[in-house]
């Protein structure tokens, strides 16, 4: 069978983590892995941890190159790509391919896809989808160690040159919860939960910069990219996305425990939830609570689950597991990376990131209805009535019962939107300062708290006049 020589990456594209373009022809003697994907896809993000493992195991025998293939207009800006690289701590070369030129050359139509190239510069084949680590490892191991090959003993043909974020207290803060006197911040890039006063003074820290799944006292506990949170009496529940787990902090004695999840990434849309600690979750992103039930946005499985705190049981609440936008009964409905939850009246509202949609779910029946959005390729930033309105990759949603509306972090449009529940009218909120991919919202005492994620800050917005100011988060720890 005739082998195919690897085509060179076209000139004129923007590269990251290196000071000059990487030539595939210069990698002779090494196995090369091209990772086609985008960081809006949770499936592509899952692959990143596999690539870190492979890079560490094979070092000078393997070259990994990320091919960033944007799915949204908001991903086509190189500044977005740099932020995503830093947020996910990617330390291999990445080339930005906004026109999908490289994907067309290699015939890639599904993301994520990994293309493997042997040490002589011939294409071995490709693997699409996630959870392919064992197959990749076997192929790389054979090629890197096979007789007759020529593994390179020296260093790589390029130098890694990263562009770190500016130093500060917060690192890519995700979700927020506000009480009358405190603000709880998922300082996601630092893998920790911060409790701050309304003036910004940090009162308590749970977890630290090193990612891990460790229970115990707040100072010794560990999280991995914590996201959505909800306060239930004297407990703070956390969607620990990177650990595929639900964690609980006793805010009185600072004890951190895992209440659901094994730490392994799950793959089944059908579960036996009689013992939540024996169920494999998949990237829980957000939480909501009502009447003894914790609702979970299970983004990696495109479903909404519910966790009975009374019975200590888990079950699928709504969603078939298909990645799509389908309304209807809970077993037939489909979500696409549901990333946030909030409750208003008898409805659970969710923002579907990939379909740029806002959906309502009846709490009694699980029936799903459309509020905003029409499908995976229907995105934009226009205001207007209901499903004709367009968002772009919304990551959080927050209920405002007094105004009977929903606040939405329209992340890739760098906007905050408001949705009137009564007439489904969507309008943009005009602020006196810039947003950069806002990822979290909390509403309390006529103040909207905004996690201005890419600028590493928390804003306080007066919704009546659009005036926003940064919360001065300082790590001058004090006793609560």
What pLDDT was estimated at residue 477?
A: 56
**Residues contacting 17, CB < 8 A, separation 6+:** 85, 90, 91, 92, 93, 94, 160, 161, 162
DSSP 381: -
Burial of 401 (0-12, 13-18, 19+ CB in 10 A): exposed
- The arithmetic mean of pLDDT across residues 347-376, rounded, is 94
Q: How far apart are CA 55 and CA 138, in angstroms?
A: 14
Structure tokens at 224: 């991995």
Does the pLDDT at position 476 exceed 80? no
**Max CA pair span of the chain:** 72
Q: pLDDT class for 258, splitting at 50, 70, 90?
A: very high
389 versus 376: the higher-pLDDT residue is: 389
Roughly how many angstroms between the first and final C-alpha of the chain, as a whole number? 71
Distance CA 398, CA 218 (A): 27
Question: Which domains, and CATH codes, for the chain?
Answer: 14-145 (3.40.30.10), 176-470 (2.120.10.30)
Q: Which of 45, 373, 386 is nearest to 188 (CA)?
A: 45
Q: Residue 432: is its pLDDT beyond 70?
A: yes
Q: Mean pLDDT score of the chain, rounded to an integer?
A: 94
Is 396 within 8 Å of 351 (Cβ atoms)?
yes
For range 390-402, the mean pLDDT: 97
Rounded to 5 degrees, what are φ and ψ at 368?
-105, 135
Q: What is the pLDDT of residues 318-333, one digit of tens each?
A: 999 999 999 999 999 9
């Amino acid at each position: 069978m005739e082998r195919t020589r690897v085509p060179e990456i076209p000139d004129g594209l923007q590269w990251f983590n290196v000071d000059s373009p990487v030539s595939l022809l210069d990698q002779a003697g090494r196995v090369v892995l091209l990772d086609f994907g985008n960081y809006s896809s949770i499936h592509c993000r899952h692959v990143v941890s596999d690539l870190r493992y492979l890079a560490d195991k094979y070092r000078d025998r393997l070259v990994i190159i990320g091919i960033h293939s944007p799915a949204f207009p908001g991903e086509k800006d190189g500044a977005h790509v740099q932020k995503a690289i830093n947020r996910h701590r990617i330390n291999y070369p990445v080339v930005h391919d906004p026109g999908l030129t490289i994907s067309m050359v290699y015939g890639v139509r599904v993301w994520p896809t990994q293309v493997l190239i042997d040490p002589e510069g011939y294409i071995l084949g490709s693997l699409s989808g996630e959870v392919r680590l064992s197959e990749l490892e076997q192929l790389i191991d054979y090629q890197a160690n096979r007789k007759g090959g020529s593994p390179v003993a020296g260093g790589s043909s390029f130098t890694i040159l990263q562009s770190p974020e500016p130093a500060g207290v917060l690192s890519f803060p995700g979700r927020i919860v506000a009480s009358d006197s405190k603000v709880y911040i998922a300082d996601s890039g630092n893998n920790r939960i911060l409790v701050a006063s309304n003036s910004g003074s940090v009162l308590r820290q749970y977890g630290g910069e090193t990612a891990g799944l460790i229970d115990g006292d707040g100072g010794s506990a560990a999280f991995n990219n914590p996201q959505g949170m909800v306060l239930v009496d004297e407990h703070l529940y956390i969607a620990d996305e990177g650990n595929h787990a639900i964690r609980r902090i006793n805010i009185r004695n600072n004890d951190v425990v895992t209440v659901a999840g094994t730490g392994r990434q799950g793959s089944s849309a059908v579960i036996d939830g009689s013992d939540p600690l024996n169920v494999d979750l998949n990237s829980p992103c957000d939480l909501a609570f009502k009447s003894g039930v914790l609702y979970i946005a299970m983004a990696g499985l495109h479903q909404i689950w519910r966790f009975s705190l009374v019975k200590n049981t888990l079950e699928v609440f709504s969603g078939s597991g298909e990645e799509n936008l389908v309304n209807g009964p809970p077993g037939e409905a489909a979500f696409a990376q549901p990333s946030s939850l909030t409750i208003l009246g008898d409805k659970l509202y969710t923002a579907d990131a990939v379909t740029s949609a806002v959906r309502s779910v009846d709490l009694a029946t699980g029936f799903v209805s459309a509020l905003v959005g029409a499908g995976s390729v229907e995105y934009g930033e226009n205001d207007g009535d209901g499903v004709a309105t367009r968002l772009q990759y919304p990551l959080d949603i927050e209920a405002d019962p007094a105004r009977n509306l929903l606040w939405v972090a329209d992340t890739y449009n760098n906007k905050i939107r408001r949705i009137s529940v009564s007439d489904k009218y969507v309008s943009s909120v005009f602020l006196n300062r810039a947003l950069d991919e806002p990822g979290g919202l909390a509403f309390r005492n006529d103040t909207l708290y905004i996690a201005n994620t890419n600028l590493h800050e928390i804003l306080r917005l007066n919704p009546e006049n659009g005036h926003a100011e940064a919360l001065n988060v300082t790590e001058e720890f004090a006793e609560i």
